[in-house]
Structure 1
Amino acid sequence: MQRTPEPELMDAPEQASAYAAADFSAGDQALIERIQALFPSGLGPRVLDLGCGPGNISFRLARADSAAEVIGLDGAPAMLQLAQQSLEKEPALAKRLSFVCLCLPSLALPKGCSGLVSNSLLHHLHDPLVLWQAIAQAAAPGARVYVKDLRRPPSPEVAEQLRQRYLADAPAVLQHDYLASLHAAFTAAEVEQQLHRCGLDQLQVAEVDDRYLEIWGQLP
């Protein structure tokens, strides 16, 4: 099916609250363990989480490596407000974990990042090259990259089957957003073309399970 872009920012208060209240802990922990398996020596001293939302992955990255500085970046103030509220409950992380409100593209991106992570941002972007260009812009030499996102199913019928399979009992706002995200997602072939255009051919692309893409690798 053809791609149908969705709004780039999830900044409605009801969206932020619904995502903050949802339990994504199993998937979030699996993502951290996948990063650890791909990069056993870690992501290095300065890690950027692009599209961090309420900070779920940012917090886990900071807890997983007590020597790393982690920066969570998102363009939605409502999401970052929730992340900041959570950070106030973990003052021990305050010196190593911070959140920045910034929309891509931007010249104000943090620079010299040894690790770059993004979970479920790509499908929100009207221009997907913005993410890959941001990674190239923020990366230090030899940076490690891990991106996970939905992939677009072949038809609206398959998208509806995925909604029913995974979110049938979720709040209506999450079900609506999930279906829109599936329609807005990219295929593996499309992502490979994006990487080629941005000079990031060293990154690998793979289909995972019945709905995800993984993009990972180490930059020169």
Structure 2
Amino acid sequence: MLPRTLEPESMDDPAEAASYDDMNHSSVNIRFVDDLLAGGEIGNDILDLGTGTAQIPILLCERMPEVRIMALDAAASMLELAIYNIEIASAIERIQLMQGDAKAMDDFEDEMFDCVMCNSLIHHLPEPQPTFAEIHRLTAIGGRIFVRDLCRPDSETAVEALVAQYAADESEIAQQLFRQSLHAALTLDEVQQMVAAAGLPRDSVQMTSDRHWTLDVRKTTAHQEEAAS
């Protein structure tokens, strides 16, 4: 198994942020929203962690006219691009942007959101455990938790195969960003251990593609009690 190699926690370089926004994430983002909605009710008040340039919140607003989304990211450069994307999509009244740290969201009250979603943030965090705990805390009883990220391959050969398959048409910068993200990702077992430590069922995390794991669970009182015990 490859050792985990960390990458910067936030992508705050303007050139990297622009390169990320220019990458073709459409199929991955559409599948994220499709899978989120296929899993059941998400309510109206949504928190999106690691929103980047707000591509997923914009897609969700197009599909669900009643949702309101708080979109949080640590990187100012990402949020500057997100403002532009939201304005172009005419979603400025439904998506609120906030710069903040997903490991410590003290501005938000317990059980404040009907759904907490997160795509491709976890691999950026040196210590993801506090973020899983915060996700659990902020989700309302009966609310939905939907988190997806890359899974670390077991060899350099597997990394390069994924880069060739999914980023061959991207720029060299974009290919390197994807390569670094695969090296920084967690394994399925590592994620399952962290989720269990946060008081959520270990088996609520499953592989959902050749490169992604997904945490999909509805918060219950039992989960909350387990986390407190």
TM-score range, shorter chain: over 0.9
Contact 1:114–1:140, Cα closer than 8 Å, also in 2: yes
Displacement, 1:94?
2.4
Partner of 1:122: 122
Describe the SS at the equivalent of 1:118. Answer: strand
C-alpha separation in 1, matches of 2:109 and 2:217: 20
Partner of 1:198: 198
Describe the SS at the equivalent of 2:193. Answer: helix
C-alpha separation in 2, matches of 1:207 and 1:114: 24
Displacement, 1:143?
1.2
**Counterpart amino acid of residue 9 in structure 1:** S
**Counterpart amino acid of residue 103 in structure 2:** P
Partner of 2:26: 25
Number of residues of Structure 1 aligned to a counterpart in Structure 2: 217
Contact 1:105–1:130, Cα closer than 8 Å, also in 2: yes
C-alpha separation in 1, matches of 2:103 and 2:210: 30
Partner of 1:113: 113
Question: What's the TM-score, normalizing by structure 2?
Answer: 0.90
Contact 1:203–1:216, Cα closer than 8 Å, also in 2: no
C-alpha separation in 2, matches of 1:105 and 1:165: 32
Contact 2:55–2:85, Cα closer than 8 Å, also in 1: no
Describe the SS at the equivalent of 1:213. Answer: strand
**Counterpart amino acid of residue 213 in structure 2:** L
Q: 1:202 to 1:68 in 2, by over 3 A?
A: farther
Contact 1:109–1:134, Cα closer than 8 Å, also in 2: no
Partner of 2:223: none
C-alpha separation in 2, matches of 1:125 and 1:149: 12
Per-residue Cα deviation, 1:46-71 (whole angstroms, up to 9, x for no partner): 00111000000011122221111111
C-alpha separation in 1, matches of 2:210 and 2:14: 30
User: Residues 41-120 of structure 1: matches in 2 within 5 Å?
Assistant: 42-91=41-90, 93-106=91-104, 107-109=106-108, 112-120=112-120
The Cα RMSD (Å) is 1.5
Describe the SS at the equivalent of 2:130. Answer: helix
Contact 1:74–1:101, Cα closer than 8 Å, also in 2: yes
Per-residue Cα deviation, 1:108-140 (whole angstroms, up to 9, x for no partner): 246510011100011111001122012022211
Describe the SS at the equivalent of 2:117. Answer: strand
- The unaligned stretches of length 5 or more in structure 2 are 221-229
Deviates more, 1:97-106 or 1:43-52: 97-106
Describe the SS at the equivalent of 1:215. Answer: strand
**Counterpart amino acid of residue 153 in structure 2:** P
Describe the SS at the equivalent of 1:5. Answer: coil
Contact 1:48–1:72, Cα closer than 8 Å, also in 2: yes
Contact 1:203–1:217, Cα closer than 8 Å, also in 2: no
**Counterpart amino acid of residue 38 in structure 2:** A
User: Residues 121-200 of structure 1: matches in 2 within 5 Å?
Assistant: 121-200=121-200
Partner of 1:6: 7
